[in-house]
Amino acid sequence: MSAPANARARVRAQLTREIVDAAQRELAAVGAAGLSLRAVARRLDMAPSALYRYFESRDALLTALIVEAYEAVGEAAERADAGAGPVPERRWEAVARAVRRWGHEHPHEWALVYGSPVPGYRAPQDTVAAALRITAVVAGIVADAVPPGSAATGRLPAGPAGLGPALAPVAAVLLPGRPPEIVAGALMAWTQLIGTVSLELFGHYVGATEDFALVFDYTMQSVAAVIGLPTT
């Protein structure tokens, strides 16, 4: 991210960028399963082995694409939130629609991020930071709607005694001082959003509805009502 010192590092950074771009185009065309290192090399008129100077394996390249996709969907959510005015319910609705739209525009990237983990298991450290971006958006909406110390306001039932401690890690980072039902509600809302878009994109709603956009909007409105987002 910072400016490279010598010219050598500058051209290296640029070529790394070009590789990722080419890989992104390849991903959009054929999907993660069909993404071939050699095809990326062909796009760039390079020898396949030359790519190994920049990414130590195909999985490392995929990890870079995962980070890129997380950033992109996070940015889409942030932009929608920023342009949605002050009403929490409207902010949530705008973010949900933007996320769904991004998924429709980038189905392969979506599958890469929210579908099955491609390698044995994901490299956490690089990706979690980028993944946090979208969760921070939905947590921010909830956080603005229910200030610290207030009681649960939605239509969720009272949680068991252990709910607070169980959710302590995520609450500490994203929603400090809120009742556990609110934290769980935010988690549920995020899950419902990602889950709905995933099931739609992966074809699990095929034949279920005539107009899924309408059902999606109603679903997200319901979620907002359930967790108690103010409509004014």
1: partner contacted, choices DNA, its own copies, none (Cβ within 5-8 A by kind):
none
Site for its own copies in 156-185 (CB under 8 A): 156-157, 159-160, 162-163, 165-170, 184-185
* Cβ 112 vs Cβ 32: under 8 Å: yes
The pair of structure tokens assigned to 137 is 């958006």
Question: Residue 227, class by beta-carbon neighbours within 10 Å (0-12 exposed, 13-18 middle, 19+ buried)?
Answer: buried
Our finding on whether 117 is near DNA (CB under 7 A) is: no
**Nearest to its own copies of 98, 223 (CB atom):** 223
Site for DNA in 20-59 (CB under 7 A): 35-39, 45-50, 52-54, 56-59
Binding of DNA by 18 (CB under 7 A): no
- Among 115, 133, 136, 153, which residue interacts with its own copies (rule: CB under 8 A)? 115
CB of 159 to its own copies, least distance (A): 5
The Cα angle at residue 105 between residues 99 and 109, in degrees rounded to 5: 80
CA 42 to chain CA centroid, Å, is 30
Stretch that binds its own copies, among 17-25, 47-55, 80-88, 223-231 (CB under 8 A): 223-231
**How many residues line the site for its own copies (CB under 8 A)?**
60
Give the one residue of 7, 45, 206, 232 binding its own copies; rule: CB under 8 A.
206
Number of residues that bind DNA (CB under 7 A): 23
Residue 66 contact among DNA, its own copies, none, beta carbon within 5 to 8 Å by kind: none
Write down the least CB distance from residue 28 to DNA, Å: 16
- Residues in touch with its own copies (CB under 8 A): 31-33, 111-112, 114-122, 124, 128, 131, 155-157, 159-160, 162-163, 165-170, 184-185, 187-188, 191-192, 194-196, 198-199, 202-204, 206-212, 214-215, 218-219, 221-223, 225-226
